[in-house]
Amino acid sequence: MQKKIKEITEKEALQKLGALCSRSEHCTFEMQEKMKRWGLNEQTQTRIIATLIKGKYIDDERFARAFANDKVRYNKWGKRKVEQALFLKHIDEDIRRRVLDEIEDEDFKEALRPLLLAKMKSVKAKSDYELNCKLIRFAMGRGYDLEEINDCLEDIFRNTEQ
């Protein structure tokens, strides 16, 4: 049985969403989803979104930049995973491209290296080949490209052999 949500007016919705957006970054899609759950019609949603954008409460590019930087820095995500998450939040492709291009490749490698080193300690493998395969699979699951992974693994193996 679904919980019945109390009817909300346009003014109340605008106040709630404005307060929410002033506390943290949110994208247009998140606000639309919230208004759908509140049962607001599309015309009301459009007016509220336009007001929030005009007041600079919502800016999809600003959101995408903050989201991508946080996911790379704190969650250690790779470019593919960040791109997929932004796609799922309905961020325009040109914004996604611009934001991801702003992040240096070195930032992704700096995030990947400690991840691989930590994973290396916990992986059980019978051979170097098996270890390599498991580390590659792990890093790909985090959204890294094979080229980035191989570069990082080569650096790690080169430094551990010395």
Whether 2 is covered by a domain: the verdict is: no
Range of the domain at 152: 105-161
Number of domains in the chain: 3
Using alpha carbons, list the distances in angstroms from residue 32 to 29, 36, 39, 49, 118. Answer: 5, 6, 11, 8, 39
Whether 4 is covered by a domain: the verdict is: no
Among 79, 84, 66, 86, which Cα is nearest to 25's?
66
Whether 43 is covered by a domain: the verdict is: yes
Q: What is the pTM of this model?
A: 0.86
Residues 98 and 109 in one domain: no
Query: Given a cut of 90, is residue 135 above it in pLDDT?
Result: yes
Note the pLDDT tens digit of each residue in 13-66.
999 999 999 999 999 999 999 999 999 999 999 999 999 999 999 999 999 999
Whether 39 is covered by a domain: the verdict is: yes
3-state secondary structure of 46: helix
